[in-house]
Structure 1
Amino acid sequence: MPTAAATEGRPALCQPSTPSQATAQSPFHAFTQALPGIGLTVAIAGAAFLAHQVPGISALSPLILAIVIGAALHNIIGTPAWAKPGVKVSLRRVLRLGVILLGLQLTARQVVEVGPSGLLIITASLIVTFAFTTWLGHMMGVDRKLTQLIAAGTSICGASAVIATNTVTQGEDEDVAYAIACVTIFGSMAMLSYPLLSSMMQLNPHAFGLWAGASIHEVAQVVAAAFQGGTASGEFGTIAKLSRVMLLAPVVITLGLIAARQAASRLGASAATERSAGRPPIPWFVLGFIALIGLNSLIAIPADAKAWTAGTTTFLLSMSLAAMGLETDLTKLRAKGARPLILGATASLFIAAFSLTLILLAG
Structure 2
Amino acid sequence: MADERVAPSFLAGPVGPVAKAAGNILPGLALTVTVAGLAYALRLIPGISSLSPLVIAIVVGMSFHNLIGTPAWAIPGVKFSLRRILRFGIILLGLQLTLAQVQMIGLSGFLIVAACLVSTFFVTRWIGRAIGVEPRLAELIAAGTSICGASAVIATNTVTRGSDEDVAYAVACVTVFGSISMLLFPVLLPLTGFSAHAYGLWTGATIHEVAQVVASAFQGGQEAGEFGTVAKLTRVMLLAPLVLALGFAATRRAKGGEAGRAAPPVPWFVLGFMAMIVVNSLGIVPAEAKPQIAQVTTFLLAIALGAMGLETDVRKLRAKGFKPLALGAASWAFISLLGFVLIASFYA
Shift of 1:287: 0.2
RMSD: 1.6
Greater Cα shift, 296-305 or 215-224: 296-305
- 2: CA distance between counterparts of 1:252 and 1:39? 29
Is 1:102 aligned with 2:86?
no
Contact 1:130–1:155, Cα closer than 8 Å, also in 2 = yes
| Deviation at residue 302 of structure 1 after TM alignment | 2.4
**Residue in 2 aligned with 1:189?**
180
Aligned to 1:291: 275
| One-letter amino acid of the counterpart of residue 309, structure 1 | I
Find the aligned partners of 2:123 and 2:27 in 1 and give their Cα distance.
Answer: 43
Q: Deviations over 1:198-223 (max 9, x none)?
A: 11222211110000000000000000
Matches within 5 A, 1:311-330: 311-330=295-314
Distance, in Å, in 1 between the alignment partners of 2:44 and 2:205 is 27
What secondary structure sits across from 2:256 in the alignment? helix
- Is 1:361 aligned to 2:341, yes or no? no
Give the deviation of 1:300 after TM superposition: 4.5
C-alpha distance after superposition, 1:82-104 (max 9, x if no partner): 11110000010000000000000
TM-score normalised to structure 1 length:
0.90
Deviation at 1:293, TM superposition (A): 0.2
The answer as to whether partners of 1:24 and 1:30 remain within 8 angstroms in 2 is no
Structure-to-structure mapping, 1:218-229, within 5 angstroms: 218-229=209-220
Please show how residues 151-190 of structure 1 align to structure 2 within 5 Å: 151-190=142-181
| SS class of match (1:281) | coil
State the match for 1:257 in structure 2: 248
Name the counterpart of 2:117.
126
For 1:212 and 1:159, locate their aligned partners in 2 and report how far apart those are by CA, in whole Å. 17
Is 1:61 paired with 2:35? no
Q: How far did 1:54 drift? A: 2.1
Partner deviation per Cα, 1:299-332 (whole Å, 9 max, x = no partner): 2422321011100000000000000000000000
Unpaired runs of 5+ residues, structure 1, are 1-20
Query: Which residue matches 1:204?
Result: 195
User: Is the 1:156–1:248 Cα contact (8 Å) retained in structure 2?
Assistant: yes
1:308 maps to which residue? 292
2: CA distance, partners of 1:264 / 1:139: 26
Instruction: Note if contact 1:110-1:239 (Cα within 8 Å) is conserved in structure 2.
Output: yes
Corresponding residue number in structure 1 for 2:69: 78
Please, which of 279, 304, 327 is the counterpart of residue 343 of structure 1?
327
CA distance in 2, matches of 1:66, 1:198: 32
Contact kept in structure 1, 2:65 and 2:313, CA below 8 Å: yes
Return the offset for 1:188: 0.2
Aligned to 2:39, what secondary structure does the other structure show?
helix
Q: Give the alignment partner of residue 31 of structure 2, picking from 22, 31, 40.
A: 40
Among residues 99, 103, 106, which one is paired with 1:115 in the alignment? 106
Residue matched to 2:7? none
How far is the alpha carbon of 1:194 from its aligned partner? 0.4
| Per-residue deviation, 1:24 | 12
Q: Deviation string for 1:230-257 (max 9, x for gaps)? A: 0000000000000000000000001001
Task: Report the counterpart of residue 234 of structure 1 in structure 2.
Answer: 225
Aligned pairs, how many? 336
Secondary structure at the residue paired with 1:266? Answer: coil
Distance 1:109 1:23, change over 3 A: closer
CA distance in 2: counterparts of 1:116 and 1:335, whole angstroms: 44
Which moves more between the two structures, 74-83 or 293-302?
A: 293-302
Relative distance call for 1:142 and 1:199 in structure 2 (3 A) is: same
Aligned to 1:266: 257
Which residue matches 2:5? none
- What is the percentage of aligned positions where both structures have the same residue? 58
Aligned to 1:145: 136
Question: Which deviates more from structure 2 when the two are superposed, residues 299-308 or residues 51-60?
Answer: 299-308
Q: TM-score scaled to structure 2, two decimals?
A: 0.94
Q: CA deviation at 1:110?
A: 0.5
Q: More deviation in 299-308 or 131-140?
A: 299-308
- 1:106, distance to aligned residue in structure 2 (A): 0.2
Structure 2 distance, partners of 1:255, 1:153, is 14
Name the CA distance, whole Å, in 1 between partners of 2:97 and 2:15.
41
- Please state if 1:332 is matched with 2:323: no
Matches of 2:218 and 2:287, distance apart in 1 = 21
Residues 85-133 of structure 1: per-residue CA shift (max 9 Å, x gap): 1000001000000000000000000011010000000000000000100
Answer whether contact 2:200 2:228 (CA < 8 A) is retained: yes
Find the aligned partners of 2:45 and 2:13 in 1 and give their Cα distance. Answer: 48
The residue aligned with 1:17 is none
Structure 1 residue 216 corresponds to structure 2 residue 222? no
Distance 1:141 1:28 in 2: 48
Q: Contact (CA 8 Å) 1:191, 1:221: kept in 2 or not?
A: yes
1:123 counterpart letter in structure 2: A
